[in-house]
Structure 1
Amino acid sequence: MRAIAVVEDQLLWRDRPDPPDPGPTEVRIAVAWAGMNRADLVQRTGNYPPPSGASDILGLEVSGHVAATGAQVTELSVGDPVCALLAGGGYAEQVVVPAAQVLPVPSGFALREAAALPEVFATAWLNLFMVGALQPGERVLLHAGASGVGTTAIQLCRVFGHPCFVTVGSADKIEACRALGADDGWNRHDGSFVDAVNAWGGADLILDPVGGDYVPQDLAVLNTDGRLVLIGLMGGRSTELDLGRLLMKCQRVIGSTLRSQPPAAKGRILAALRQHVWPRLASGDIVPQIDAEWPIEEAGAAMAHLAGNASVGKVLLRVAGG
């Protein structure tokens, strides 16, 4: 098969060995589209190695057709259109993945749109509703609101009744987030978001992929019994905290990552998506936001676009069409 290789910081479409035959509980997917995520940018630099046993090929989500199934797989058949959450290996013509991490394409969806679903919807659902334990009516602050995870989380907040406020990098992105259902937003280039979020009413849950100096600001806007879920470190891994505020307001800081979760845990997340979110996708209540697409041979250009922070929603790579 062919797959993307990182060669002296270039992304090259090259011959690679085929993945092994699927095990008893695995499936092989003929990849049509691959989603691009910021984790891919970090892995490309060598700072985010794949979990033990996972493919070293970039790519955490794909769509395509089932090409082969393991002996114990009963819910999927060869030829089924599917999308899948991966620990790695998506920038390739084929990938083998545990069947628990594979979902049918939502009704009415093409494979292109389906490739924009697994990673961002699993991340948003996990951290809002499972790790973050959102309760009815609680208020949410979303950093990087125009990202793939952000635009997904905005829509989940809207359909499940949670007011949300976003921070983004431009006035245009604030408007894009409002159109998806955000109450309001703050341009990070205008300084600290603390006064704006407190004037909005503060947050009961914060989804933060930034870390660094955002964390003390997060705690300054987090309501009593609030939860800060840290899902990334784009702003750095060190900061200072006012532990007195944390203590007196019974706040919680929770670290969360999806990629290293075992297949059974990922399967539970995807099962929840299939139950609660897939019907909303099929009905059009939730629409995946796709910013741009490139052929897989131009993965480097696609990644440069994502790294430039101009995107609103997902960046996709076309492997075989569909």
Structure 2
Amino acid sequence: MKAVLVHEPGDASALTIGEAPKPSPGPGEVLVRTVAAGVNRADILQRQGHYPPPKGTTDIIGLEASGVVEEVGDGVERWRVGDEVVALLSGGGYAEYFVAPEGQLISPPPGVDLVTAAGVLEVAATVVSNLDLAELKPGETFLVHGGSGGIGTFATQYAKALGARVASTGGSEAKLAHSRAHGADIVLDYHDDWPTQLREATEGRGADVILCVIGAKYLEANVKALNRRGRLVVIGLQGGVKGTLNVGLLLSKQGTVSATSLRFRPAEEKAEICAKVERQVWPMLRSGRVKPSPETRIPFAEVRRAHELLESGENVGKIILEM
């Protein structure tokens, strides 16, 4: 089968399309013919050699994809050949076929085509699982960094649907306008002193929950922006892996800092998260309370361009590779 391969870590030119063995489903697994795959920041980190897959997982990049069931392994009960599915993966999405555990496949959202659906599940699973961890409550203030990206666009809408007041950061007026259009109550230019501006906009309180894709670079600023008993959840490393932390300030706020990775969770946990997304988020999409992010569709053969666009910071919404 054709797949995107990385022989040596590097920039987007390290991505090549070559031949790889077609996988076979084991017990409890499903083989899917790929229709489309979502492109994520974690894919860039893996290409660069900074985010290796879990032990025993394919080296082929790709954490989410959609497609049609080609074959089912022993013990699979829900799926049949020909079923349309979306998948949460530990790897393998950038290929003509992929294998996934039965529980990490769910039906596409009602009324959403398979290409768009390829960019919904990983985002939804990330946001839902982490806002559950942070115990976001109605009436609280929620801050998401990168509000115009795939995670940020979904998180803004989902937090609003949960009854939260939403703030988001962005680096241009167009991106701030995007966040406003998707429900953000407060928009903050990250070139400015956004922690102070957030506190001013919230009568000195700050954020009860912060979802951060930046990592080390924003660690101290995030703690400064927290409300008393605020919860910071770090899910990305765009700003590096080592930072400084004023523990005294964190202590004075009785705040908490958590860091999570969806990719390395056990299959059972992923299956539970996927089931909750199907149960809770898909009805929101059907009713229009939450809408899929704006998307840029790029042909599979132009995977380098997809990575370059994501790295440029110019993209708004989700990038999807079409097979």
Matching residue within 112, 132, 135 for 1:133: 135
Q: Distance in 2 between matches of 1:81 and 1:213?
A: 41
What is the CA–CA distance in structure 2 between the aligned matches of 1:238 and 1:46, rounded to whole Å?
A: 17
Is the 1:174–1:184 contact (alpha carbons within 8 Å) kept by the matching residues of 2?
no
2:182 paired residue number: 180
Alignment of 1:156-235 (within 5 A): 156-189=158-191, 191-201=192-202, 202-235=206-239
Q: TM-score, normalised by structure 2?
A: 0.95
Q: Residues of 1 paired with 2:217 and 2:53: CA distance?
A: 27
CA distance, structure 1, for counterparts of residue 45 and residue 193 of structure 2: 26
Structure 2 match to 1:269: 273
| Alpha-carbon distance in structure 2 between the residues aligned to 1:107 and 1:251 | 39
- Matched to 1:187, the amino acid is D
How many residue pairs are counted as aligned between the two chains? 316
User: What is the match of residue 93 of structure 1?
Assistant: 96
Unaligned runs of 5+ in 1: none
What's the TM-score once normalised by structure 1's chain length?
Answer: 0.95
Tell me the distance in 2 between the aligned counterparts of 1:290 and 1:33.
16
In the other structure, the counterpart of 2:243 is 239
After superposition, what is the alpha-carbon deviation per residue over 1:12-33, rounded to whole angstroms, capped at 9, x for unaligned?
A: 22111111x2122111110000
Cα RMSD (Å)? 1.2
Cα drift, residue 285 of structure 1: 2.0
Q: CA deviation at 1:7?
A: 4.2
Contact 2:5 2:18 in 1 (8 A): yes
- Name the structure 1 match of 2:2: 2
Specify the alignment match of 1:120 in structure 2: 123
Q: Aligned match of 1:54 in 53, 57, 70?
A: 57
Correspondence 1:238-257 to 2 at 5 A = 238-257=242-261
- 1:105 maps to what in 2? 108
> How far does the alpha carbon of each residue in 1:48-96 deviate from its partner, in whole angstroms, 9 at most, with x for none?
1000011100111000111111221111111111100000000000000
- Match of 1:128, SS? helix
Percent identity over paired residues: 41
- Inter-partner Cα distance in structure 1 for 2:145 and 2:309: 20
1:194-222, Cα deviation, whole Å (9 max, x unpaired): 11110121100000111223111111111
Cα offsets for 1:92-136 (capped at 9, x unmatched): 00000001110101111110111011111111111112x211122
The answer to whether the Cα contact below 8 Å between 1:29 and 1:95 also exists between their aligned partners in 2 is yes
Amino acid at match of 1:307: E
